[in-house]
Every structure is written in C-alpha cells, then in structure tokens.
Structure 1
C-alpha cells in the first residue's frame, strides 16, 4: 500500500508542478524542451535564463537520486548494463523526442491534460513502442527482466 501512496503523491506533485509552470510561464513543462533550451540555447523567448533552466535540470537529477537513496533504499539500479548500450539507448530516446516533437512529460502529463489530440497520439505511440521494445529486448536479446 505504501508503494501505491508514493505513486499517487508523486503523480499529484508532477501535476501540480506542470500546472504551476503553465500558470506562471504560460508554457508546457516538458523535460526535452528544457534540455534543448539549456544545452542548445534554443529558447523561444529572449528573457529565458539559462541558469534557471540548468537549475531545474540539476534539481531534478539530485531530487530523483536523493529519493532513491533516502526513501526507497531497497531500490537498486542494475549495474550490469553496458555503458555503450546505455549511450545508444539515450541517443535513441533523444532522436525519438525530436521526432515526436516532445517527450512523455510534455505530451503525457501536459498535453493529454489539455486535451491535445497530437499529445494523445504521441503518448499512445510511446507506450506501444515501449511495450514492443521491452518484449523484443527481453525475448530476443535477453536484456532486462
């Protein structure tokens, strides 16, 4: 039951953060967009502060890591993955977010809640692709599960 409560609390916090970002800045909160703006200086507005965007990304990494260490000590990241495989997987995800014009946080959390048909289609595509990828990688390549 505690596991379910953690998910519910996390979901409410993500939804609140997305709503607050939309109300304060008038933009959808998507992680790939933040990374793109921070790394490649492609902000849509001249006043966007790169330091602010970088702090959001760093805070996200520190917050997620801290939660795993302090609140869920039984959660262990597998370290048997090849660094090359992880790099390739990251590049494929980056390519997919470019091709899909956003990531799961932008489309799945913000787009669906706004009723965007494009985001609904993108999220369904992400989910189907993830299911196929897990099935193929676990059955054919013996990766994961």
Structure 2
C-alpha cells in the first residue's frame, strides 16, 4: 500500500474534521449526523436550513461520483445496505448518537459518555469483522 492508495481516505478524514470544527465554531453545534438528520425529520423549526444543507453536502458528492460515469459497485446489493442502514439508525438511537457525534466531536470535547460510546462501537466493529472472517458468518 502506498501513500497514493490512502490519500482519498486521508483527505476524507481531514474534511470531516474540518467540517466538524467549522460547525462548532460557526454555529456552536456538534456535527452528529444522526442528530442533524433526526431534527430534519422531526421538523426542527428555525434550524432546518443549515441541517438540510449539511446533509446535502454529504449526499451530493456521492451523486456527483455516480453521475460522472465512475464505476460504483456494492458487493452486498441494495437490500443488504438497507438492512445495515436500518441497524445503524437503531444503534444511533440506542447509543444517543453516532460515530461522528461521539467519535469525532465528543472525543474532541473529552466527553466521558462519548469515550464509552466510541470504545463500544469500535470493539463491536472489530468483533463483527473477526466473526465474519473467522467465525463462518460470511
């Protein structure tokens, strides 16, 4: 693996950190995607515009990539990703936040609750990978 192989991931991480920092500096809000999305669905009056613009900024690059003729493959297919998305949504409600809210913003604010949440989802992610690779779940 070379630097060119990981450059998009590094750039993505920098952009996520920059967006989270700007949102808290400019709006005083934490960039927790599940909370932002939930407030749009629940009709958060007065703040719907910036929340919708933030979510559009997440979706538009993917749409641009797809419409630009890039080859996009999804190995599990749409039904698997729909189920996975529903499970992630349930987990964010159960954990009172998502990886961006807890893992990026909460850890940066030294939140004990976010530290526990981040450790939990990291450990569960590692366990899931191990089970799929070695536990016969693939």
Partner of residue 50 from structure 2, selected from 49, 52, 58: 52
Structure 1 vs Structure 2 CA RMSD: 2.3
Corresponding position of 2:32: 30
Count of residue pairs brought into register by the alignment: 134
Name the TM-score, length of structure 1 as normaliser. 0.78
Instruction: Please show how residues 1-145 of structure 1 align to structure 2 within 5 Å.
Output: 1-41=3-43, 43=44, 46-48=45-47, 50-66=48-64, 73=70, 76-81=72-77, 83=79, 85-138=80-133, 139-142=135-138
The separation in 2 between residues aligned to 1:16 and 1:80, in whole angstroms, is: 31
- Structure-2 change in CA distance of 1:98 and 1:80 (3 Å): closer
Secondary structure of the residue aligned to 1:108 is helix
Q: 1:80 to 1:4 in 2, by over 3 A?
A: closer
> Distance between the aligned counterparts of 2:76 and 2:95, measured in 1?
30
> Secondary structure, in 3 states, of the residue corresponding to 2:118?
helix
Deviation at 1:11? Answer: 1.8
Q: SS of the residue aligned with 2:37?
A: helix
Q: Given the superposition, is the C-alpha separation of residues 113 and 6 from structure 1 closer, same or farther in structure 2, using an over 3 Å criterion?
A: same
Tell me how far 1:90 sits from its aligned partner. 1.6
Tell me, which stretches of 5 or more residues in structure 1 are unaligned?
A: none
Residue 106 of structure 1: CA displacement?
A: 0.6
Gaps of 5+ in 2: none
Structure 2 residue matching 1:5: 3-state secondary structure? helix
The CA deviation string for residues 85-136 of structure 1, in whole angstroms up to 9 with x for no partner, is 3322222111110111100011111111111111111111111111222333
C-alpha distance in 1, partners of 2:75/2:118? 29
